[in-house]
Amino acid sequence: MNLANKLTIVRIFLVPVFMIFLLNEITYGVYIAAFVFTVAAITDTLDGYIARSRNQVTKFGKFMDPLADKLLVTAALVCLVQMDQLPAWIVVVIISREYAISILRAVAASEGIVIAASVYGKLKTITQIVAIIAILLDNYPFSLIGFPFSTIALWIAVILTIVSGVDYIYLNRHILKQG
């Protein structure tokens, strides 16, 4: 197993660690959870870079990397709803987009077509991660100056989630018309 795949597995194992610190009354638990989430998010960037730069892209990585990303973000979003830090409808929008694009990719793959990540998809992921971290940190340090950074980041993430979903479906509509 190569380093990129090991980082993907680490990210998956960090999901329950993140949740334990976030959902239990542990001193500084939310901050530790934010740190664990950030480390896990960084492993996503690292594993992709390592796999591509070393020409070590594997079937395992192609399957598990997006799954690890979805597990991490979904776990954070669901926890934030449970903690009354995020409205459920936002989580439904984000998860619905993930299901739709995953199904589109699966249909494309069955036809031998690979749907690469788009710029909008990458921006969506980055803004979701930034928004989640900002919410976990209760908008710190922006709360010190009264700037609603976490709210703005969340809205940008929701908008990019919708835009990227529509973009993927529009650009690959020919796949849906087949059969």
List the chain pLDDT tens, one digit each, 179 residues. Answer: 899 999 999 999 999 999 999 999 999 999 999 999 999 999 988 988 898 899 888 888 888 888 899 999 999 999 999 999 999 999 999 999 999 999 998 898 888 888 888 899 999 999 999 999 999 999 999 999 999 999 999 999 999 999 999 999 999 998 888 65
Omega cis (within 30) before 87: no
Residue position matching structure tokens 């950074």: 149
Q: Of 70, 43, 49, 75, which Cα lies nearest the Cα of 125?
A: 70
On the 0-12 / 13-18 / 19+ scale of CB atoms within 10 A, 68 is buried
Please give the single-letter amino acid code of residue 1. Answer: M
Query: Could you tell me the pTM of the whole model?
Result: 0.92
Residue among 112, 154, 109, 146 at smallest CA distance from 130: 154
